[in-house]
Every structure is written in structure tokens, then in C-alpha cells.
Amino acid sequence: MTPKQIAFIEQRRRQIRYWPWMAAVLVALLLAAYAWLWRAAPINLNPELVLEQFHARTLGDEELILLAARGTLALAGCGLFMLVLVFLISLSLWNERRLISMIDALRPAPEAGAAVAAEPLEAAIPPEEEQVPAPAAPGQDD
């Protein structure tokens, strides 16, 4: 692996390490926004309240126009979509963490008595000038 590839893997490793905190913050902000919306304007999230006010004829024209344009289920669906998106990103980063640990497992073990490198992948990779190019496939002329 080249130093650029190693740097990329280390960058992804840092990003994966911080994602659970970011996901928790995003979910907390989303839940706080929907809790505020439920208290400030419950008609935007509660379809039963809309039907109740519609049948009681207490729903104003402006509210009816807004609800017809936006829809209570569409707003709730957007929140659900955002939660699913955070969940899927978390799953993909968990998978990436698993794959990076597989890469780490493929590197040779340090020799007995040798110091362990600070960067897990750098110790296993020779410098670029020592790398041998792959042989050409039979029948190909270079």
C-alpha cells in the first residue's frame, strides 16, 4: 500500500471513530425539533387532530391550505427518512470499520522484541522504492 492509501485509511478510521457521537447528536436534534413542533403546532404532525378539527369545523382556512399543501404525513415521513438515513450511514460505517480491521489483520505480526508501530498499517508496508511491480500477464508486450 502506498502512503497515500495508508493516510486515507487512517482518515476513515478517525471519521468512523467519531460517527457514533455525530449520529447521536443528529438524532437528538431531530427529536428535539419534532418535539418542539409537536408542542408548538401539533396540527402539523397529528393527522387525528386534523380530522377532529375538520369534523368540528374549527379548522381555519389558512390552516387547511397549509395542510393541503404540506400534509401531516409528509412531514412525519421526512423525519422518519432522516432517522433511517442516519441508521444506514451508521451501518455502512460499521461495515467499513470491520473491513479496516480485516486489513489490519492481514498485515504481518511484529517480530518478538520489536517495538509496535504507532500507526498500525505503516509498519507492515515497505517504502515505495522497495515494492516489486507485478509481473505482466503472459502474451502481453510492454
Q: How far apart are the first and last CA of the chain?
A: 24
Q: Give this prediction's pTM.
A: 0.54
CA distance 13 to 11: 5
Phi, psi dihedrals of residue 79, rounded to the nearest 5°:
-65, -40
Task: Render pLDDT for 81-100 as a digit per residue (tens, 0 to 9).
Answer: 989 999 998 898 888 888 88
Cite the DSSP H helix spans in 41-140: 47-55, 61-70, 72-106
Task: Render pLDDT for 6-57 as a digit per residue (tens, 0 to 9).
Answer: 888 888 888 888 888 988 999 999 899 889 988 888 877 777 777 787 778 8
